[in-house]
Every structure is written in C-alpha cells, then in structure tokens.
Amino acid sequence: MSTDRSLSMNATIPVLVCFDVEPDEREVDIDARADWVGFERAAALIDVLRPRMEAATGRSARVSWFLRMDPQITQVYGNAGWAADRYSALFDALVADGDELGLHVHPWQWDGERSMWTQNFADQSWVSYCVESAFAAFERAFGSRCRAFRFGDRWMNDETMALLERLGVTTDTTIEPGHTGTETPDAYTGTFPDYSEMSCLPYRPSRHDFRSPSEDGFDLLAIPIGCVPADWVSSPSVGASAALLNGAADYEGTLDAASMVEIAGWVWDRSQPDAVFDVEVLCDGESLATVGATGFRDDLADAGKGSGKHAFRLATPNRLKDGQPHVIRVRVAGTDVYLDGNPLVLQATADPDSDIITLYLDQHPFTFGLVVDRLLADPTTVVLTMKVRCDFATSTQRHANFRGNIEHLLAHPLARRFEFISPNEFAQRSQTPALASRP
C-alpha cells in the first residue's frame, strides 16, 4: 500500500476549514428574517486571521463556506438565494481570496398546524427537492455549479449521495465518523446513519453503502470531519512526579469535572510556576491513570495562574460507564496532595456518541489541541478536516474557543507544513487509486 501521502513525510499537511453559513437560530423564526450575524462576524474574523494563517504557513490560505439555500430559507426569507444577495459583496471578497463556496442543506419543513419546523429526513422526495432546489439557487446566484457539499446534522443516505453525483458534486464533507445518532434536540422524521465503524480517511463511497469505500463507487470524494476515539484524548503524562522536582512545593488546583466525557481540572506549583508534572487519577481508591497537567486553558492564564499551561484531562474510560457511581479523586503524582473539589462522583452510562471527539472549531481549545495532536501523530492521517456552524461567532465563549483553536494551529510546531485549502483542491491532489481505495 502506498504511504506517500502519509503526514510523516515532509509533504504539506492539508487543513480544511468548513463553515456552515446559515441563520443563527436552529429554530428559525418564520417572521423575523433575521440577518445571519454569525456569518458576518465569521467572515470578518477570517479577514483578520487569513494574513496570519498565510504568515504561519508561508502560503496562501483558503477556507470554505457552505450556504443554506433550501426551502426553509425560501419560506422565511422569500428567496433561496437570500444570503447570496444580502452578502454579495462579502462573498465576492471571499471568492477573490480563493475561498470555495458550497451548499449546506437541511430538510426543514414547516408544520403550519403545530407552528413548528421538522427536519423531514424520512421523505426522500422532500430531501431530493431540498437538495435540487438549493443547487438551482446556487447556480442562479453565483453563475457556477456547486461542487462542494455538506448535508445538515451529518445526515446522508445512498439516494442522496447518488443525487449529489448527478448534480456534479465532487466533494462531500458531511460525514462525522463515530456518530450513531443525532444530538439535535429538535423535531425530525426518519433515522440517522450509523457511522460508528467509519474512519476519517477520505474515500470514494460505494453505491451500495455510501459509508464503505469502493473503487467503482460514486464519482466524488467523501472527506469525513476529523475525529479520534475519545479515550485517546487525554493529556499525555510528562513522566515527572512533582515531589521529586520541588520539595517545598505550594500547590493550587481543582478537580473541575468528572463526567461521562472527561475527568478534568488543573494544578500548578505557585513556588515554581514553570514546573511540569503529572497528576494521578484514582477511581474508587484505585489508581486509574496518570496524566500531565500541562494543557493550556485561557481561563487559567486570565486568572494569573502562571502561563495557564496547567490543565489536565483524562477521557473517561468506557469501563466506568456502567451506570454505577464511582468516586473520583485526583492528587499530584507522587504526593498525598489532593486537589480542591475532591472527590467527585461519576455516574455514567454508555453512549456511543460520547466515544468519539470530532474536530469542531468552537470546542474548547484544550480538547481541540489534543485531537489535532493525536491526528498528526497518526501515520494514516492525510488531511485535517474541521467544521463550525457560523453562529459560533455570536457567542463570546465559542468565539474565544474558535480563536484559540486557530491560534493552536498557527503556533503548532508543524505549522510551516500546514496548507489551508478547499475540499476540491484537496480532491484534485488526491486523484490516486491508492487513496480512494484505502479502507
């Protein structure tokens, strides 16, 4: 098998940044015709960040914008192409910078009797109509065919993938491996595909099951959003026990969380702010794991806790998700110094969707950084694909997270090898059987 695309070589590392451009509210107010403030701010942010992305990588930087142009937009805004009209100058500028525009479709249907929106995944004729009408609106608005696609809420099926191929789509970035259902709180019909057995390697989707690769599959490249198993996303041990480093230590720290996702907190030595050391996590009195308290958290830096690089995170092991209460304690490794907040009681049941962590650009930078670093350490990785819904920019916290995550990429030791490109640029470079047929 060819390994010439492995990131272990000196090749550039493609980074795909995908924005979903849609109304800020998921449950769109049918009478409001509200501007898409999240998109306005996200575009302004990229305007500021792009020169920095180019300076850090030494090459031009491009991102991708996936627009909503489906019947919900027509119903609320009077025109599927509303965003293209409203923000025409903005889109012109983004395209001039080399960004790719694509479509993002949700099959929302208005139920006038109950005065609510439902995503109607169950009715294929409705789904197909949503997709086809969006493509027609895209072509009217931009005078060119849409080539890049992302369905809403990571939903997809074989019929829709076949329709995308007929419509001339060359890349699809819908799939989020690991997910088996949806976390969407709102109404829908139909079922969500099971992605639990999938990896995030790009592939040509089989005509019989779009989740499987096939050399004679659809004539388009599926590029899943990057992800890693949740239990990989723990801060690595630094192999240093603090007591050995400093006999007169002055520790301060807290166990912040013991949830079905993570056991997390922070600790530092006030007498020696730059010391790096491990913490030991105990479960029901037994040692569970040793992880490094070295991750950066902006709230720690803001609170004057040294450099802010004192956070630890242990992905909650699946075997603790048995519905039983478990007592979690954390101490500085090699000492009897327990953090504030000890103990916490963890009570969790198994949930497949919590077993994976996906590269969302508005997630906490500490977690994002761990996922990026794990993907880059994995020799099978060929691309870093990440997404965010533009409404992140209307939230102070998620906006700060996004900035922190881009900063993590720009400050990364491999940043000179990063190349911010569009899905179709990536696809054009990947037209090799070796890539398409990889499992």
Segment interacting with Zn ion (CB under 5 A) among 13-21, 197-205, 356-364, 375-383:
13-21
The reply on whether position 102 binds Zn ion by CB under 5 A is: no
- What amino acid is encoded at 404 in this protein? G
Shortest Å, Cβ 228 to Zn ion: 23
Q: Which of 119, 381 has the CB closer to Zn ion?
A: 119
Q: Which of 20, 100 has the CB closer to Zn ion?
A: 20
The residue number with the shortest CB distance to Zn ion is 152
Q: Which of 105, 383 has the CB closer to Zn ion?
A: 105
Across the strands, what pairs with 105?
Answer: 151
Separation CA 291–CA 279 (nearest Å) = 6
User: Which string of DSSP letters, residue by residue, matches 70-109?
Assistant: SHHHHHHHSSTTHHHHHTHHHHHHHHHTT-EEEEEE--EE
Segment interacting with Zn ion (CB under 5 A) among 46-54, 147-155, 194-202, 281-289:
147-155
The reply on whether position 152 binds Zn ion by CB under 5 A is: yes
Shortest Å, Cβ 20 to Zn ion: 5
What does residue 353 show for φ and ψ, rounded to 5 degrees?
A: -70, -15
Q: Which tokens belong to 79?
A: 């025109």
The reply on whether position 419 binds Zn ion by CB under 5 A is: no
The reply on whether position 391 binds Zn ion by CB under 5 A is: no
Shortest Å, Cβ 147 to Zn ion: 19
Shortest Å, Cβ 351 to Zn ion: 22
Residues in the interface with Zn ion (CB under 5 A) total 2
- What amino acid is encoded at 84 in this protein? A
Q: Which of 20, 262 has the CB closer to Zn ion?
A: 20
Shortest Å, Cβ 103 to Zn ion: 11
Separation CA 73–CA 23 (nearest Å) = 9
Answer yes or no: are the C-beta atoms of 250 and 273 closer than 8 Å. no
DSSP letter for 225, please.
P
x/- letters, 186..205, toward Zn ion (CB under 5 A): --------------------
Segment interacting with Zn ion (CB under 5 A) among 149-157, 212-220, 263-271, 306-314:
149-157
The residue from 20, 99, 269, 419 that contacts Zn ion (CB under 5 A) is: 20
Separation CA 249–CA 395 (nearest Å) = 39
Segment interacting with Zn ion (CB under 5 A) among 18-26, 118-126, 191-199, 309-317:
18-26
The reply on whether position 425 binds Zn ion by CB under 5 A is: no
Q: Which of 64, 316 has the CB closer to Zn ion?
A: 64
Segment interacting with Zn ion (CB under 5 A) among 12-20, 57-65, 365-373, 417-425:
12-20
> How many C-beta neighbours within 10 Å does residue 96 have?
8
Q: Which of 18, 376 has the CB closer to Zn ion?
A: 18
Shortest Å, Cβ 152 to Zn ion: 4
Separation CA 392–CA 21 (nearest Å) = 11
Answer yes or no: are the C-beta atoms of 260 and 318 closer than 8 Å. no
Q: Which of 87, 296 has the CB closer to Zn ion?
A: 87
Q: Which of 129, 232 has the CB closer to Zn ion?
A: 129
Separation CA 79–CA 71 (nearest Å) = 9
Q: Which of 154, 321 has the CB closer to Zn ion?
A: 154
The reply on whether position 362 binds Zn ion by CB under 5 A is: no
Separation CA 173–CA 426 (nearest Å) = 12
The reply on whether position 343 binds Zn ion by CB under 5 A is: no
Helix axes 124-142, 158-166, angle to 10 degrees: 30
Q: Which of 38, 152 has the CB closer to Zn ion?
A: 152
Segment interacting with Zn ion (CB under 5 A) among 20-28, 83-91, 109-117, 345-353:
20-28
Shortest Å, Cβ 153 to Zn ion: 7
Separation CA 116–CA 139 (nearest Å) = 30
Q: Which of 27, 219 has the CB closer to Zn ion?
A: 27
Can you give the length of the chain in residues?
439
What does residue 214 show for φ and ψ, rounded to 5 degrees?
A: -155, 135
Q: Is 85 exposed, middle or buried (0-12, 13-18, 19+ CB in 10 A)?
A: exposed
Alpha carbon distances (Å) from 358 to 23, 82, 226, 269, 371: 23, 31, 6, 32, 8
Answer yes or no: are the C-beta atoms of 281 and 247 closer than 8 Å. no
Residues within the interface to Zn ion (CB under 5 A): 20, 152
